[in-house]
Every structure is written in structure tokens, then in C-alpha cells.
């Protein structure tokens, strides 16, 4: 497999503030910048806590020292609705910072995103975000190597199972060699474990998987954790 696609969720943040000259400069300097430079009067700006260095629901994790690069890859990425890639974006990501949650110790990338006031649905989007109807966002990205936290090998090839305890250490894997942030989306709920993460050749001995959960993907039943799957029946 050349690369793996993954979707992860974060939360929209309710902070509203005056758009600064610095933010306007960043927007007008993005890759493929606006054909007509925007001003503060042209846009709405909000922000979201999009991804962090904690272990997620699918037992994946970004390395803390990779967060600055991840924030860089977000710059200029489109914001969609529900990962609908057959539609055009409704906003774009820009700027932002890395912030640590003092309660959990998890560090997050917190990019901002903007959309145009003049668009016909602009007010609907603003009202739903500010009123808490739209309150979660999800990042779509590609990476090459899921590195096992126990042995440091490719977790698709080693013997360790994400979520299992090994001598007091819960196995997870790192999103190593992130290639691209494809988009961010407004979503009704965050990603379930394993969303967008499939193996091209999930070979394993059936006796290793007894008692593990079963779930359906594209008409095929699987057993195991989403990161290590075996076909059980059609």
C-alpha cells in the first residue's frame, strides 16, 4: 500500500473576535490565494481544535513534534460538509496555533477557517456554528506508516493489536510520514474507529481473532480491530 487515508474529528470553538490585519495577510498569501483579495469586511472567521497528540478512538496518534508540520499542511485546505468530496468547499483553513489543554496535557493544532459573507448561505453557516448546531469538525489526511507503539515496527505487519494491553502498556500506533491534509469537514459526529483506514492485504491466522468484534464494510464482514482485519464471510 502506498498510503493510508484517515479521518479524525475535533471540535469547533466558539471564540469570535475582530479579524486582524495579520489574518487578512495570511489569507491573501495562501497557496492559490483569492483572485480578489479579501478584507475584514468580506469574511467570517472561526477556529477549531482539529487534531492532537492524544490517542484517538481508533488507537492512532500524532507525534507531538509533528504537530507544527501538520498545521502547516492544513494551510489553504478546503472545508467541506460531511467529507462530501463531490461538492465544492464552503470555507478554507488558514493560520492558527498549537495549544495544550492544561486539563488533559494533550496538545492540539487549532487552525482558523474563513468563509465569505456575500455567499448566499453564509448567514446560515454562521448561525449554525455560533448556535452550536454545527459543533464538530473532522480532518482528512493521508500518511504512509502506522508505527506500533510497542515494537516500533509497521503495525500492519507486527504481532501487536491496537487497544490491547502489553505489560501495562496499551498498544496504539503513530501516524508517521503524513503526506497531505486533503480537507477538513463540518460533521454531525466525529469519526468512528477505523474510518478510512483499510489494509490491502490483511493476512492473519484466524485463531488469533476469536471473540473480537465483527463489523461490515462495503458489503463484506470483518472481524478484529479496524487497523488489523480479516475477512470472515461475504
Q: What is the pLDDT of residue 231?
A: 40
SS3 of 151, please? coil
Cα 163 to Cα 46, 144, 174, 207, distances in angstroms = 34, 21, 13, 18
Name the pLDDT band for 13 (thresholds 50, 70, 90). Answer: confident
Q: What is the mean pLDDT of the chain?
A: 80
Q: What value does the mean pLDDT take over residues 194-218?
A: 39
Q: What value does the mean pLDDT take over residues 2-19?
A: 72
d(CA 78, CA 115): 10
CB 221 within 8 A of CB 232: yes
Query: Above 90 in pLDDT, residue 184?
Result: no
Query: Above 90 in pLDDT, residue 51?
Result: no
Length of the chain: 234
Beta bridge partners of 12: 48
Q: What is the pLDDT of residue 211?
A: 46
Q: What is the pLDDT of residue 14?
A: 62
Query: What are the extents of the domains in the chain?
Result: 4-193, 198-234
Name the pLDDT band for 25 (thresholds 50, 70, 90). Answer: very high
Nearest to 71 by CA among 148, 144, 141, 149: 141
| 33-55: burial string, b at 16+ Cβ within 10 Å, e else | eeeeebeeebbbbbbbbbbbbeb
The number of beta carbons lying within 10 Å of the beta carbon of residue 174 is 20
Amino acid at each position: 500500500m502506498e498510503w493510508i487515508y484517515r479521518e479524525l474529528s475535533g471540535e469547533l470553538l466558539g471564540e469570535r473576535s475582530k479579524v486582524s490585519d495579520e489574518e487578512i495577510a495570511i489569507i491573501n498569501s495562501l497557496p492559490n490565494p483569492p483572485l480578489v483579495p479579501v478584507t475584514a469586511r468580506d469574511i467570517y472567521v472561526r477556529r477549531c481544535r482539529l487534531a492532537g497528540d492524544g490517542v484517538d478512538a481508533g488507537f492512532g496518534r500524532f507525534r507531538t513534534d509533528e504537530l507544527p508540520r501538520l498545521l502547516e499542511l492544513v494551510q489553504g485546505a478546503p472545508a467541506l460538509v460531511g467529507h462530501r468530496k463531490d461538492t465544492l468547499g464552503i470555507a478554507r483553513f488558514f493560520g492558527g496555533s498549537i495549544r495544550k489543554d492544561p486539563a488533559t496535557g494533550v496538545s492540539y493544532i487549532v487552525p482558523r477557517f474563513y468563509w465569505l459573507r456575500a455567499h448566499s448561505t453564509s448567514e446560515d453557516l454562521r448561525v449554525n456554528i455560533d448556535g452550536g448546531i454545527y459543533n464538530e469538525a473532522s480532518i482528512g489526511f493521508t500518511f504512509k506508516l502506522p508505527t506500533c507503539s510497542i515494537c516500533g515496527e509497521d503495525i500492519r505487519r507486527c504481532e501487536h493489536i491496537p487497544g490491547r494491553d502489553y505489560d501495562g502498556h496499551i498498544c496504539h500506533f503513530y501516524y508517521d510520514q503524513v503526506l497531505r491534509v486533503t480537507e477538513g469537514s463540518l460533521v454531525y459526529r466525529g469519526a468512528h474507529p477505523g474510518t478510512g483506514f483499510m489494509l490491502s492485504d490483511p493476512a492473519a491466522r484466524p485463531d488469533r481473532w476469536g471473540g473480537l468484534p465483527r463489523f461490515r464494510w462495503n458489503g463484506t464482514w470483518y472481524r478484529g480491530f479496524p487497523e488489523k482485519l480479516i475477512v470472515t464471510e461475504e
